[in-house]
Amino acid sequence: MKKGRAFFISSLFLPVRLSPLKMTTAMLENAHPLWEQFRQELQSVSSLGQWTQLRDRYLSRQRGLITLEVKKLGRLSAEERPSAGQRLNVLKVQVEKALENHYQLLKEQERFRQLQSERIDVTLPGYYPRRGRIHPLRRIQREMEEIFMRMGFQVALGPELEWDYYNFEALNMPPGHPARDTQDTLYITENLLLRTHTSPVQIRTMQQQPPPVRIVVPGKVFRRDAVDATHSPMFHQMEGLVVDAGITFADLKGTLEAFLKELFSPQTRVRFQPSYFPFVEPGAEVVISCIFCSGTGCRVCKQNGWIEVMGAGMVHPKVLQKVGYDPETYTGFAWGMGIDRIAMLKYQIDDLRIFFENDVRFLSQF
Ligand code: PHE
């Protein structure tokens, strides 16, 4: 900002009292010659330092110009002395008053200068903090949880570090069972491992409560896999388990079909193909019509028209027995699906790795 304008604003907004001393004609005629001299000098005082100098120059108790004049009074005759004395008194009062006014002016100017230098332009746009976002995997997980919660499911969680017993044995995979080999397990000790699926939480939940059970279990799972576009040693699953008296395969079909239609679209077709998992009987592989080409064949479904989305089945009687549920009274179904895979499909992502690279350019799109 230019100086001239600053001063303009200052004189506009600050109560600057230059106080022209009201002087009567008599006073002017009678004015002491020092008055005019003082006024001249006062005009060039533009700092508090100069102001102090000028004050002392006129009013100092020892050598002030006015003080010296007062001392000279003694040399005057008795007739001259009263009027000369009065003239000096008037001068002194005028000088003090002018000094005081000028002091206020300098103070106000200084304050204005300070305000100017600390001036903040409140019309400038502020710095926005970068807003965090929900990770796409977490987002889809919540969406899935919400659909199941609306159906009456509860969310259950279990440990990522798991006993062999829960991960395999209680799920009808005793030591030496060939299905163990297909899981590429990461062992910590002989009995302790990183869970290869979320199914052990089926066992933990059933051990803790009697039927009915209606849970979904989201979480991390681990497998000894090399990283590529569709594999990662850590990925996410969502397990589901329903156990009650009179649960049938029709319940399994109805539940999963309703879920998949809600997650993808009402047009999605759902198919159940025979499959094998030791902890279910019968077991199924759930496939949906390709959500990109609706089944006509494209790159995503590898020209197949169908995409596999989960494994499922009726809970094996041996599993129910292991947790103390009577398989004659209770039946149930379970499923397990890859959250990462569902997210890849829903968000059309063709490389699993970008979920774990934490590149904000990717993450900020969700
Ligand atoms: N746990 C199985 C897997 O990880 C999936 C599954 C869960 C299959 C429940 C059937 C029932 O492959």
Task: Give residue 13's pLDDT.
Answer: 46
Amino acid at residue number 271: R
Residue 352: Cβ within 10 Å count? 19
Instruction: Render pLDDT for 196-223 as a digit per residue (tens, 0 to 9).
Output: 999 999 999 999 999 999 999 999 999 9
Q: Report domain extents, the chain.
A: 25-117, 136-363
Task: Give residue 324's pLDDT.
Answer: 97
Distance of CA 257 to the CA centre of its chain: 37
Task: Give residue 126's pLDDT.
Answer: 85
Amino acid at residue number 21: L
The verdict on pTM exceeding 0.75 is no
User: Which residues in the chain belong to E strands, given as ranges?
Assistant: 154-155, 161-163, 186-187, 192-194, 213-222, 234-245, 270-275, 280-289, 306-315, 330-338
Residue 33: Cβ within 10 Å count? 9
| Beta carbon of 199 within 6 Å of any ligand 1 atom | yes
Provide the angle, in degrees to the nearest 10, between the axes of the packed helices 48-59 and 33-43: 170
Q: How far is the CA of 239 from the centre of ligand 1 (A)?
A: 7
Do residues 224 and 196 touch, judged by C-beta distance below 8 A? no
Can you read off the two tokens belonging to residue 200?
A: 């052990």
Can you read off the two tokens belonging to residue 236?
A: 């996410």
Q: In degrees rounded to 5, what are phi and psi of residue 221?
A: -135, 160
DSSP 353: T
State the average pLDDT over residues 298-327. Answer: 94
Q: Which residues contact 86 (CB under 8 A, 6 or more apart)?
A: none
State the average pLDDT over residues 304-312. Answer: 94
Per DSSP, the chain holds a count of helices (H) and strands (E) of: 14, 10
| Beta carbon of 201 within 6 Å of any ligand 1 atom | no
- Pick from 277, 308, 315 the residue to mutate for probing ligand 1's pocket: most ligand atoms within 8 Å of its CB: 277
Q: β-strands 213-222, 192-194: how paired?
A: unpaired
Task: Give residue 15's pLDDT.
Answer: 45
Q: Report the distance separating Cα 233 and Cα 238, nearest Å.
A: 17
Residue 264: Cβ within 10 Å count? 18
| Beta carbon of 277 within 6 Å of any ligand 1 atom | yes
Specify the CATH number of the domain 136-363: 3.30.930.10
Q: Output the average pLDDT for the chain.
A: 90
State the average pLDDT over residues 103-125. Answer: 92
For the CA of 336, the nearest atom of ligand 1? 7
Rg (Cα) of the chain, in Å, rounded? 46
Is residue 277 scored above 70 in pLDDT? yes
Is residue 235 scored above 90 in pLDDT? yes
Q: Report the distance separating Cα 356 and Cα 231, nearest Å.
A: 12
Can you read off the two tokens belonging to residue 25?
A: 């004609």
Q: To the nearest 10°, the Cα dihedral for 262, 266, 269, 274?
A: 20
* Biggest alpha carbon–alpha carbon distance for the chain: 138
Q: Report the distance separating Cα 32 and Cα 74, nearest Å.
A: 17
Q: Which residues contact 40 (CB under 8 A, 6 or more apart)?
A: none
| Beta carbon of 200 within 6 Å of any ligand 1 atom | no
